Amino acid sequence: MNKQRFGFIVLLGLLVVSAVLQKIGALALLGVRPNPTLALLIAAAFFLRHPFWYFGLVILQYALLKNAPYLDWPALALAALLLVNFWLVKILPWQALFSLFLLTAATTMAFFAMINFSFITRNPSLLTGEVLYNVVLGLVFYLILQKLKIEL
């Protein structure tokens, strides 16, 4: 099996597992439900050179997370934010880990601003918990992808 195929299969597996864990709330801790697909796909953007691979992963993420047979606003908003992140990863001048932390935190907050702004004002502690949880998950995914030398 060539390196590209192996890398894409690993990413697909991680994405499916992350989406299932997110849907069933298996990673919830003290009321904080992280967004592992967001963390994974932001981390993956650092290792994917071609937008085709990333776009395919975002489309799969949308299909796995949507809750209705029609356009699902939260899943669509997340997909749009992730596509913007792919572009931002390529132009940010900072080191990868700093960019990962910044993008994960900003995307988490932007996601809540887009789908339920009152959550931000009513639950700042839960938002902070989710931002931190997503940043930690992003770091874990980044280190996994780096260790496996995933490059597509």
The pLDDT of residue 148: 85
Q: Are 134 and 104 in contact (CB under 8 A)?
A: yes
> What pLDDT shows up at residue 3?
74
Contact 30, 130 (CB under 8 A): no
Rounded mean pLDDT, 22-43? 93
Query: What is residue 1's predicted lDDT score, i.e. its pLDDT?
Result: 67
Band of residue 2 on the pLDDT scale cut at 50, 70, 90 = confident
The string of pLDDT tens digits covering residues 9-24 is 889 999 999 999 999 9
Question: Residue 68 pLDDT more than 80?
Answer: no
Could you read off the pLDDT of 36-57 as tens digits, one per residue? 999 999 999 999 988 888 999 9
Chain-centroid distance, C-alpha 48: 14
Per-residue pLDDT tens digits for 78-127: 889 999 999 999 999 899 999 999 999 999 999 999 998 898 899 899 99
pTM above threshold 0.85? yes
Cα–Cα distance, 82 to 79 (Å, whole number): 5
